[in-house]
Each structure stands twice: as C-alpha cells, then as structure tokens.
A and B are shown apart, each in its own frame.
Chain A
Amino acid sequence: GAVVSQHPSRVICKSGTSVKIECRSLDFQATTMFWYRQFPKQSLMLMATSNEGSKATYEQGVEKDKFLINHASLTLSTLTVTSAHPEDSSFYICSARDGNYNEQFFGPGTRLTVL
C-alpha cells in the first residue's frame, strides 16, 4: 500500500517557539492531505484539509493563524504550530489521499510536547 511519512516523529520545544511538522506521500501524488489531532486516549479530530496549491480549509474552532498549513507540492504538506504553548501538546497525524484508490493513507504521527 501507499506510504505516508511524518517528520519528526517526536519533538519537544519551549513555550513560545514554532514547530514545523512535515507530511510526505512517498510513492504517490496526493492532491489532498488532511491534518488531525489526537489527545491521549481519545479519538482523532480533523483540523484541516490541505489541497495542493491552494489555501487549507480549517475545521470550526481551529485557529488558522495558530496552525499554519502549506501544501506546496503533490507530495508534501507542512503543519507549523506557531508560538506553541503547553496546551498544544498532542499527537498530530496527517493523511494523504491517493486519488487512484480513493483512499486516505495515514502517517505514523508526530508527538509534540511543549514545555
């Protein structure tokens, strides 16, 4: 099956700094990528839908200036958590849609800890 990678897998940062998370589709082109947030022992919550070459669509309640999403190519989307605070600590997961199979493939996730 198609492979989606995320980098880094874990990141620890100080409060007030910005963190960038990369999501790559390794063996297919993804016109659409999705970003999710997962709190401990909870479900995934869709944060935003990222379309290559256009602005991301954010879900209600997600601050677009806080969570910057860029989908510059068909294989790469980035999520930047700006001015991170401890409440932003979470597990961030991306997925990429393979149009050939009409299916989303998920990355392994990035654990963000803000001190």
Chain B
Amino acid sequence: AQSVTQPDIHITVSEGASLELRCNYSYGATPYLFWYVQSPGQGLQLLLKYFSGDTLVQGIKGFEAEFKRSQSSFNLRKPSVHWSDAAEYFCAVGAGAAGNKLTFGGGTRVLVKP
C-alpha cells in the first residue's frame, strides 16, 4: 500500500524568503504525485502534479516541485513567499486509474511572518 510522509508539521517563513516543503512517498510502481493547498473555508486546490516526463514540475502560484525517484521524494518549493501563501499544504500519491485514488500526507502548515 502506498503512503506519504510530510516530516514537517509546521514551518514558519518570513515573507519574501524561500520555502521548501518535504514529501516522501512509498509506492510500488511509478507514482502519480500531487501537491494541494488548503485554505480555511476553501476546498483543496491543486498546485501541481507529476505523472511522467520532466522531473521538475511547474505549478500555479509560483510553486515548483522536483521528483527524485532515488530519494522517493517530491519536495515543493517557492523562491519567494507571499503572505497569502499561509495555508496547509498536502502532498499526495495517487494509485489506480490515472492515479485517482489519493493517499495524503499529514500536511504541513505554513505560517508567513511579515
């Protein structure tokens, strides 16, 4: 069975600083990998996804993630955070048809200091 680990429960970053959120997965085949952001009162929004091809994936809102098979990782990065990036971030691995059966990591809450 697949699993996802997000080692950091909370991360505090200053506005304008860079951000990296860690994600490690366990899956027997080539994974479908996702990053979602959850803001209060809003549904999860897909930031980016990796299915195949280029291991550096560009997403929305200036986020990118890099798939490293050797490390079973899919870390999310943003060069310069904005106060509006404060939210909960979830990494997920997908199984089944087109990776639709999602298993989520525990989430990382990002706080942005002015």
| B-binding residues in A (CB < 8 A) | 4, 32, 34, 42-46, 49, 93, 95, 97, 102-109
Tally of A-B residue pairs with Cβ under 8 A?
Answer: 40
Are A93 and B44 touching (Cβ within 8 A)?
A: yes
Rounded to whole angstroms, the CA-CA distance of A72 and B102 in the bound complex is 23
CB distance from B86 to the nearest CB of A (A): 15
Q: Name the one of A46, A106, A108 contacting B101, with C-beta atoms under 8 angstroms.
A: A46
Selecting from B12-20, B23-31, B103-111, the interface stretch reads B103-111
Q: A108 to B106, Cβ gap below 8 A?
A: no
Does B90 have its Cβ within 8 Å of any Cβ on chain A? yes
Contact B43 A106 (CB under 8 A): yes
Known pairs A42-B106, A43-B106; A93 contacts B43 (CB<8 A): yes
Task: Tell me which residues across on chain A come within 8 A of B100, comparing CB atoms.
Answer: 32, 34, 97, 104
Q: Is B41 an interface residue (CB 8 A)?
A: yes
B43 near A104: Cβ-Cβ < 8 Å: no
* Nearest CB on B from A35, distance (A): 12
Contact status B90-A108, CB under 8 Å: no
